[in-house]
Structure formats: structure tokens, C-alpha cells
Structure 1
Amino acid sequence: MTGVAIITGSESGIGRATAVVLAEAGFDIGITVHRDREKAEQTAEEVRAAGRRAEIRPLDLTELPGAAEVVDELADALGGLDVLVNCAGTGISTPVIDTSYQDWRRVLAVDLDGPFLCAQRAARRMIAAGRGGRIINITSVHETAPRVGAGAYCAAKGGLGLLTKVMAQELGAHGITVNSVAPGEIATPMTGQEDQDPHGIRRPGVPLGRPGAAHEVAAVVATLAGPAGSYVTGASWTVDGGMLLMGPQAGSHLESDDWRS
């Protein structure tokens, strides 16, 4: 398997793990960096160690619509585009009534507007090339499940989940599959668990008893990007250790009101 994959938010966390696993699968990799150039260079080094090419470009999804041009810049630099993984994301922990419009718009820009514009550009290139392609959106279990204090994040991820399904309908005729991968709690910088082994962190309310690791999400992305994912489209792949299974049971076993804050 060879080709070109662009992964937004690939300087760390799930994006970095995805860049490495797709490089190992035979893809040249387009990497985007928001804050930490050194970490992006480390991602590129891992890609090159797998024998693939890597290109890095800056990306700030609050600077829209222009920021989405990074898709074309990386595709031009690498000679095409076969897979786009929308992984860049952000969030806040603020009750809806206290969320400022500025914060609301920032989360929606990064988590919904940006993926829309990047996917749009990717789809246009894939259609023009006539070889099909794969678009994979990293959403969250909060694509479908609400969380107190995460109104903006949940709204954005829910929107991206439905956008994924509409694009799957519209792009299927061109041989382009569009899917989402919905992680639960993953040990990454975004959850304040960078460089931690999730096997040492207890989560009694999760059937597997721990958070996930970035490479466990990346493995599912790789499946969707590879030959095994050729007839999968419009689907949401939950990678949460069974978290969503606990709904009513978790609720009936809560012993305090701590969840309200």
C-alpha cells in the first residue's frame, strides 16, 4: 500500500501516532504543526525512519478559511492525496451559560469549520485525480454522548459526525469513503496525560478499566485508510474501551453529585 496521507494535528497525540502507523503502512505523510515545531520534527523523523517522505506545514484552524489551504500545499509538495485524517482539535470545560461567544466560535472553528474546509479541499482533489480516496474525521464519543461543561465541544463533534455521513453519501460515487473515529478518554496531551502508560491509570467505570493509548486509535484509522476499509463508509468507529456501554448502569451507580461540575 502506497500513497499520500495528510494528518492535521500530527505534532502529538493521536495525530502523531496516526502519522507513524500510516507511514509504516506505506504512505508519505503531510504533517501539520500548531504550537510545537520540535514535536512536529520528531513526528517527521519517525515517518522518515519508516522509509517514507514527510512534509511539515503550519496550521491554525482559527484562521479560516485560509488555513485550509494547507491541504493543497501538502498535496502539492508530496505529489497527490489519497487519505485525509482530520485530527486537529480543541475544547473547553465551561458550562453553556458561562461560555463566551468567542470561546464558542473558537471551538467550532477548530473542531467543525476546519475539518469541513479541509475535507472539502481534499475531496475536490481526490475527485479531480479520479482514483478515489479516504477521508477520516477524528470525532469523539461526544459525537453522540453529551458531557456537562462541554457544550461547544459536543456541538462541534456532533456536527462533524453528521457531516461525515452526508459526505459519505455524496462522495461514494467517486470512490471516496468518509468515516469517523470516535475515541473515548485517550492518554494524550489534550487530556493532560502525555507520555503516560494508560495501563497504569484506573478507570473503574470503563469496562476495560483504563484510558486508551494513541496507537490504539491510530490502528483503527489505519484499517479505514487501508484495503480492509474499502467497503466501509458513513460509519462511526467508537474506540472507547466500552465507555459508552455503561450509560444507564453508570448513572444508577453514581453515589454523589460530583458529575454536575
Structure 2
Amino acid sequence: MAKKFKNKVALITGSSQGIGAACALRLAKDGADVILNGHKFDERGEKLIRQIKAMGRKVSFLEADISSVAEVVKLIKDAIKIFGKLDILINNAGLETKSDFLSVSEKDYDKVMDTNLKGVFFATQTFAKYCKSKKRAGVVVNMSSVHEEIVFPNFAAYCVSKGGLKMLTRNLASELAPLRIRINNVAPGAVSTPINQDLLNNKKQLKSVLENIPLKRMGKVEEVAAVVAFLASDEAAYVTGSTYFVDGGLTYHYEEQ
């Protein structure tokens, strides 16, 4: 069976662990050559490289802090140089900080917004400029969150960043379509990842979360990666400007309450 990403190169930001790592493995499995990214190259990156090479795919790792525009621009340009082209950009890197609204510091606000929104903005801009200059089609998939729709008390900056990402994606879908660039969001709900480790370890809190999920379980990183792979592929050639929720029905259930 033909690989859906044969002769394609994908960059996945924040791909050392969790959903980003799952996306890298899924796209590699489906035939893509992959560029990994993280703050620093460590044993997690080494493991992923071994796994992807075992699939017969090319792979490289680039260090970059997505909250820095200069580093983001360099990341995209360096990624293009590695394999001579770039077809798919997965803007996965993100973070959250917990604080009640009255206690949020400017530093924490900036870190969240710079990583989750500004970094995505300028990574996509740099990628789009490349696509235009080479007259190449491109695909962008952003990792949003159910909190682009659902409130999340004590995480105001995070919610604002994801709400902004929703509008950025919708706006760019229109603006980049003439360049043959598609852009969509994937919005995970409660997923078993390192960022949710505290929740997974708190049985009482976990029980409360699961009560609001119609499927009554946490999501798996592989389930999110499957939707990312669909949106990045030609199977989704007529899909742009959309958000695909991967949340076990959480968003719909919340809206019905």
C-alpha cells in the first residue's frame, strides 16, 4: 500500500514527548521524513530518532525555543535546508501556567502567549513565505485545545492563546488559500500526556474530569496524532480553516450543560 506521505517532509515543533512525539511517529509510519524539535536534544529525542530510522525514514532534530521569533524563523529555515524542502508544518509546541487571574504575572503571560500564539504566527509566516517563493503547496496543522471554546478557570492566558489560535487559523485559511496552503487546528481534550501527569495521579480530580467526558476516558496521544495525519494528508485536500476536536465529546457535553 502506498504511503500517504511518500516524498514529504514534516516539521513537528515540541516533538520530544507527548502528542508531538506521537505525531512524529505517525507521520513517519505513513512515509514522511521528519524533523523533530525541542528546547534541547536529550534521550527522548535520541529514542525517537532510533524509532523513526527503524521505519526507514530520514530524521533530524533541531533545537529551538518557540517563544523566540528569531529562533522560530531560524528553525524553519534550517528545517528546509536539512532535506532540501518542507511540505508540512505541525505547530505543536505549547505550554500552560496555572494561576488565578489576579495573580498572573507579565512574565508568565508573555511566556504562554509567545509560545502558544506568537511562535505559531511567525513559524507559519516563515513557512508561507518559503512556499510562495518556491511556488509550492503546503500544509499547516496547529495544536489548539478544547479551551479555544471551553473556559478553564486559573488558566486565563492559556485560554486566550488558544482562542487567538482559532481566529488565526480561520483568518489564514482565507489569506493563504491562493498560495495553495491549507491550515487547520486539532483541539485535544483530556489526553494522557506528561503535561497532565498531576491529573492522572489525582484519582478524585480524574474522576471529576471523566464524569464530563461522554466516552468516560482520557484520550491517547495516538488518537490525536491520527487526526493530525489526516489533516496533513491529501485526504483532507478540501479542508481548511477548521478545528477538529479530539475530546471524547467533552466540548459538546459542556455546551449542552
Counterparts of 1:86-97 in structure 2, within 5 Å, are 86-97=91-102
Q: SS at 1:209's partner residue?
A: coil
> Does the CA-based 8 Å contact 1:134-1:225 persist in structure 2?
yes
Q: SS at 1:29's partner residue?
A: strand
Q: Deviations over 1:154-174 (max 9, x none)?
A: 001111111011111011111
In structure 2, relative to structure 1, the CA distance for the partners of 1:12 and 1:231 (3 Å cut) is same
> Does the CA-based 8 Å contact 1:30-1:75 persist in structure 2?
no
2:114 alignment partner in structure 1: 109
Q: SS at 1:31's partner residue?
A: strand
Inter-partner Cα distance in structure 2 for 1:155 and 1:38: 33
The answer as to 2:54 corresponding to 1:49 is yes
Inter-partner Cα distance in structure 2 for 1:148 and 1:133: 36
Q: Residue 145 of structure 2 aligns to which amino acid in structure 1?
A: S
CA RMSD of aligned residues (A): 1.8
Inter-partner Cα distance in structure 2 for 1:192 and 1:35: 21
Counterparts of 1:180-191 in structure 2, within 5 Å, are 180-191=185-196
Q: SS at 2:121's partner residue?
A: helix
Unpaired runs of 5+ in structure 2? none
Residue 195 of structure 1, CA deviation: 10
Inter-partner Cα distance in structure 2 for 1:154 and 1:195: 21
Q: SS at 1:56's partner residue?
A: strand
Q: SS at 2:69's partner residue?
A: coil
> Does the CA-based 8 Å contact 2:150-2:254 persist in structure 1?
no
Inter-partner Cα distance in structure 2 for 1:195 and 1:25: 30
Inter-partner Cα distance in structure 1 for 2:62 and 2:253: 40
> Does the CA-based 8 Å contact 2:26-2:229 persist in structure 1?
yes
Q: Deviations over 1:143-186 (max 9, x none)?
A: 12211001000001111111011111011111110000000011
The answer as to 2:241 corresponding to 1:234 is yes
Q: SS at 1:234's partner residue?
A: coil
Q: SS at 1:90's partner residue?
A: coil
Identity score, percent: 35
2:163 alignment partner in structure 1: 158
Aligned length: 246
1:246 alignment partner in structure 2: 253
Q: SS at 1:192's partner residue?
A: helix
> Does the CA-based 8 Å contact 1:143-1:157 persist in structure 2?
yes
The answer as to 2:130 corresponding to 1:125 is yes
In structure 2, relative to structure 1, the CA distance for the partners of 1:27 and 1:160 (3 Å cut) is same
> Does the CA-based 8 Å contact 2:28-2:57 persist in structure 1?
yes
1:98 alignment partner in structure 2: 103
2:227 alignment partner in structure 1: 220
Inter-partner Cα distance in structure 1 for 2:168 and 2:256: 30
Inter-partner Cα distance in structure 1 for 2:152 and 2:243: 19
Q: Deviations over 1:187-245 (max 9, x none)?
A: 0111117999xxxx751220000110100000000001112111100000000000012
Inter-partner Cα distance in structure 2 for 1:67 and 1:132: 21
Unpaired runs of 5+ in structure 1? 251-261
Residue 36 of structure 1, CA deviation: 5.6
Inter-partner Cα distance in structure 2 for 1:163 and 1:108: 13
Residue 249 of structure 1, CA deviation: 5.1
> Does the CA-based 8 Å contact 1:188-1:195 persist in structure 2?
no
2:152 alignment partner in structure 1: 147
2:45 alignment partner in structure 1: 40
Q: Residue 207 of structure 1 aligns to which amino acid in structure 2?
A: P
> Does the CA-based 8 Å contact 2:212-2:254 persist in structure 1?
no
Inter-partner Cα distance in structure 2 for 1:89 and 1:131: 27
Inter-partner Cα distance in structure 2 for 1:45 and 1:117: 30
TM-score calculated relative to the size of structure 2: 0.91
1:82 alignment partner in structure 2: 87
2:73 alignment partner in structure 1: 68
Q: Residue 238 of structure 2 aligns to which amino acid in structure 1?
A: Y
